[in-house]
Structure 1
Amino acid sequence: MELKNAVAVVTGANRGLGRHLAAQLVERGAKVYAAARRPETVDVPGAVPLRLDVTDEASIQEAARLASDTTLLINNAGISTGASLIGGETAEVRREMETNFFGLLAVTRSFVPVIEDNGGGAVLNVLSVLSWLHPAGLGSYAASKAASWALTDAVRDELAPRGIAVSALHVGYMDTDMASGVPADQKVAAADVAARALHGIETGRPEILADETSRYVKQSLSAAPRPNAAA
């Protein structure tokens, strides 16, 4: 997909990876709707702030109405509560799934007709290496990202006949607020991840592996599961 003159909606564009994606799209000549729950927090020069809460259906529908010229949707908004699946609060597990899976689905369903009416385009879902790697301490987040990976693959097949390409971005730790507790030498720069993501969209790659961690884990998917500790 040609990004120059594309019209993009980037969710969660007020900080972190979303902000870098929005800024780099503007630099490439795209029109950008920088979406956030609080649009007044968006400070991307050249972008159009857009109110969008991925857990609020009315907000999503209004955003799709206002951004009626969209040709590219980047589902970047997400949360991490750090909840485990057994010991964590059920409300936190539900909140992560509502945001990271059902929110992504709701935004995609609302914007697909818009993109199709504009002649087709693309959708990028920002996922994680935890789509494939499922540590106990981040079980809730990993489950939401694994579900979103399945969603992405299914939606890719469903939307291909409608002229809409669907890509998944997988990355390990990035230098963003969500990974603030991770040592710096274990994180990649969000700006670099954004650049790789946009290159993947331009070249039509269905799966974009943004760092060495995601590439290594993807190659290891066929490995046998670790034995039960009590076995």
Structure 2
Amino acid sequence: MRFLIKDKVALVTGANRGIGKAIVESFISHGAKKVYLAVRDPKSTAELSEQYGNKVVTLTLDAGDAESITLAASQATDVDVVVNNAGVLEVASPLSDNVEEALAHEFKVNVLGLIRVANAFAPALKTKESAAFVQLNSVASIVNFTPFTTYSASKAASYSVTQGLRDELSPFGVQVLSVHPGPINTDMASKAGFETSDTVESVSEGIVKALADGKFHLFPDAMAKQIQGAYQSFSDAMITAPSSAQ
């Protein structure tokens, strides 16, 4: 199953900055017909709107708000590819004072947000001759990073949900892509304290190529590729083997 972005309509959550903004730019440079910028604050997409004109349409979508997700889906019924990029990170180890609050917040956005976005947009994607759903997970979905234990737990859960989405959507011809970046040059990486990081373009251009190649996993940057090397044999046997997808 392969998905080419040229002449397609896309929706990107968290499209106003960082990886989300880079995905918008890569999609348009590769010939996307239109990109919905799904963001909490519509004013935050002014720069992209000025740059791309009628190639982009801003929608209000808060990954932590089920009603806003449902409304956005009703306004973007022509989508061919949905990129669920929006997410949150809290600094919390298992013994932190804020561990329960952090975990609840991250699960609300990173896990329930994914489930709600997928359920809201799946009906439209299933009707298309060629469609895709892209989930921004993390290397932390595979390896726990202790200072960010709750974030790692939420991303492990979202990765598991992504595998289920692949099994549910692939019979309808919808390609599902699970993206696992390491430290990327974003505000989130700065908050996490990473001093060395790869560019946002490594993710956005990687997504375009992985979709075209029909991949389920994308490990786009230097750290991610190291983890991929150790994880690959398990993935081949248990995650992406033909018998693992219904």
CA distance in 2 between counterparts of 1:117 and 1:221 reads: 34
TM-superposed deviation, 1:212: 2.4
Q: Which residue of 2 aligns with 1:182?
A: 194
TM-superposed deviation, 1:192: 2.3
TM-score by length of 2: 0.86
CA distance in 1 between counterparts of 2:129 and 2:67 reads: 25
Matches within 5 A, 1:33-112: 33-42=36-45, 43-44=47-48, 45-46=51-52, 47-89=56-98, 90-112=100-122
Q: Which residue of 2 aligns with 1:5?
A: 7
1:137 is paired with a residue whose SS is coil
CA distance in 1 between counterparts of 2:171 and 2:206 reads: 26
1:220 is paired with a residue whose SS is helix
1:49 is paired with a residue whose SS is strand
Q: Which residues of structure 2 form unaligned runs of 5+?
A: 233-246
Of 204, 215, 224 in structure 2, the residue corresponding to residue 194 of structure 1 is 204
Of 21, 24, 31 in structure 2, the residue corresponding to residue 22 of structure 1 is 24
- Please give the per-residue CA displacement for 1:136-166, whole angstroms capped at 9, x wherever unaligned: 2110000011111111111101111111110
1:69 is paired with a residue whose SS is coil
> Contact 2:4–2:208 (CA<8 Å) still a contact in 1?
no
TM-score by length of 1: 0.91
Q: Identity rate of aligned residues, in percent? A: 33
Letter in 2 for 1:25: F
2:91 is paired with a residue whose SS is coil
Which structure carries more helix by proportion? 2
Count of paired positions = 221
C-alpha root-mean-square deviation of aligned residues, in Å? 1.6
TM-superposed deviation, 1:221: 4.3
- Please give the per-residue CA displacement for 1:83-125, whole angstroms capped at 9, x wherever unaligned: 2233242122100111111101110110000111233400010
Letter in 2 for 1:2: L
> Contact 2:198–2:221 (CA<8 Å) still a contact in 1?
yes
1:165 is paired with a residue whose SS is strand
Q: Which residues of structure 1 form unaligned runs of 5+?
A: 223-231
- Please give the per-residue CA displacement for 1:33-64, whole angstroms capped at 9, x wherever unaligned: 01101121013232211111111111011100
Matches within 5 A, 1:117-132: 117-132=127-142
CA distance in 2 between counterparts of 1:85 and 1:108 reads: 29
